[in-house]
Amino acid sequence: MTTATPAETVIDTGTEELLCVLRDRVAVITLNRPQARNALSDRLTPALRRMIRLCGENPDVGALLITGAGPAFCAGGDVKGMGGPERGAPELSFDDKVARLQERQRTLTGALVNVRKPTIAALPGPAAGAGLALALACDLRIAAASAFVTTAYVKIGLSGDYGMAWLLTRIAGTARARELMFFADKIDARRCESLGLVNRVVADDALRDEAFAMARILAHGPATALRFIKDNLDEALMSDFTTALDHEAERMVRAGATADHREAVKAFVDKRKPVFGAG
């Protein structure tokens, strides 16, 4: 890492196609292929996987903010490169192709969903296909007014990957997920907000500031409590109520034993804003 300014640290991603800076405990990860609407590539995607893992493990990072350079978030996969083997690579068997995609999915959206810190996607423009899945894998989404999303897959005769159906179903419900997957219509930002696909819509020129402000609040929050909140919310999707209650109780007691909790109580008594630690 090299320091760019006193308030910002540049993190080397290994490629200019992905930028990452750490500012005020927020890791700002920027997909940087604006000429291709930030479509995933053989350089961008592995770097993104590494940054998700590294930032997720870095104690100096309190929240992750993922966005795109220029007027797009991410156009998904590069359609021009589909339909054949990678240049110079041998043809893979069916089983090998499945195993490769499974690994790629687990280490991208799978890893992002499993990050135990708050994650936010800021959409300056279109999010399509795997790009939409990337945004949906974050905890929260904030969109510019001119942004839109589309599942896109059916338009090119594909069924979907990177957890699209799972994520859509849990965020928008099964009926809406089927409609979005079957028709792949372009859904504008305001309708995305009404469907629950994004949490907030802001003016285009306010997106980056608003998204960072949201991420900063979370980055300076009580880290242990936020991690346990994510655990509780994730478990709500998959566990019965009694199991969720029991695990919620355990996490509540553990959170109550943290320095962050003691600081919050003291701040309440002192009538001041709490100052939480890094862990």
pLDDT digits (tens, 9 = 90+) for 176-222: 999 999 999 999 999 999 999 999 999 999 999 999 999 999 999 99
Residues 51 and 157 both lie in one domain: yes
C-alpha 114/C-alpha 61 separation (Å) is: 15
Tell me the average pLDDT across 160-170. 97
126-159 per-position pLDDT tens digit: 999 999 999 999 999 999 999 999 999 999 999 9
Q: Tell me: the pLDDT tens digits for 74-111?
A: 999 876 655 555 566 688 999 999 999 999 999 999 99
In terms of domains, do 177 and 53 share one?
yes
Instruction: Please check whether residues 154 and 259 belong to one and the same domain.
Output: no
What is the radius of gyration, based on Cα positions, of the chain? Answer: 20
pLDDT value at position 90?
A: 81
* Amino acid 24: pLDDT: 97
Residue 166 Rama label (left phi>0; alpha psi -120 to 50; beta): alpha
- Tell me how far apart the alpha carbons of residues 151 and 129 are, in angstroms, rounded to a whole number: 5
Tell me which residue has tokens 């590294």: 54
278 in any annotated domain: no
Distance CA 128, CA 158 (A): 13
The pLDDT score that the predictor gives to residue 277 is 87
In this prediction, residue 279 carries a pLDDT of: 46
Query: Considering the domain boundaries, does residue 154 fall inside one?
Result: yes
Give yes or no for a contact between 247 and 231, defined as CB atoms under 8 angstroms apart.
yes
Instruction: In whole angstroms, give the CA distance from residue 134 to residue 141.
Output: 10
Q: Where residue 234 falls among pLDDT bands split at 50, 70, 90? A: very high
Whose CA is closest to 152, among 63, 76, 70? 76
Question: What confidence tens digit (pLDDT) does each residue in 23-41 have?
Answer: 999 999 999 999 999 999 9
Q: Is the pLDDT of residue 164 over 90?
A: yes
> What is the pLDDT at residue 87?
64
Same domain, 145 and 39: yes
Domain range for 264: 223-270
51 lies in the same domain as 188:
yes
Compute CA distances 279 → 65, 81, 117, 221, 260, whole Å.
19, 43, 11, 10, 8
What is the pLDDT, as a whole number, of residue 257? 96
- pLDDT classification of 3: cutoffs 50, 70, 90: very low
Higher pLDDT, 145 or 1: 145
Nearest to 114 by CA among 237, 230, 26: 230
Q: Which residue type is seen at 255?
A: A
Q: What is the pLDDT of residue 2?
A: 47
List the structure tokens of 142: 């904030």
pLDDT of residue 7: 82
At residue 255, the pLDDT reads: 97
Task: Scan for tokens 């540049």, then name that residue.
Answer: 10
List pLDDT tens digits, range 266-275. Answer: 999 999 999 9
Instruction: Please indicate, yes or no, whether residues 34 and 141 belong to a single structural domain of this protein.
Output: yes
Distance from C-alpha of 192 to C-alpha of 141, rounded to nearest angstrom: 10
Of 177, 194, 219, which residue sits at a domain end? Answer: 219
Report yes or no on 60 lying in a domain: yes
CA distance 200 to 207: 10
44-81 pLDDT per residue, tens: 999 999 999 999 999 999 999 999 999 999 999 876 65
Would you say residue 279 lies in a domain?
Answer: no
Q: What is the pLDDT of residue 85?
A: 57
Give bridge partners of residue 9 from the DSSP assignment. 3, 22
Q: What is the average per-residue pLDDT within 224-252? A: 96
Question: What are the residues whose beta carbons fall under 8 Å from the beta carbon of 178, sequence distance 6 or more?
Answer: none
The single residue listed with the structure tokens 């001119």 is 146
Question: Distance between CA 214 and CA 218 in Å, rounded?
Answer: 7
- With respect to residue 259, please indicate whether it lies within any of the assigned structural domains: yes
Question: Would residue 277 count as lying in a domain?
Answer: no
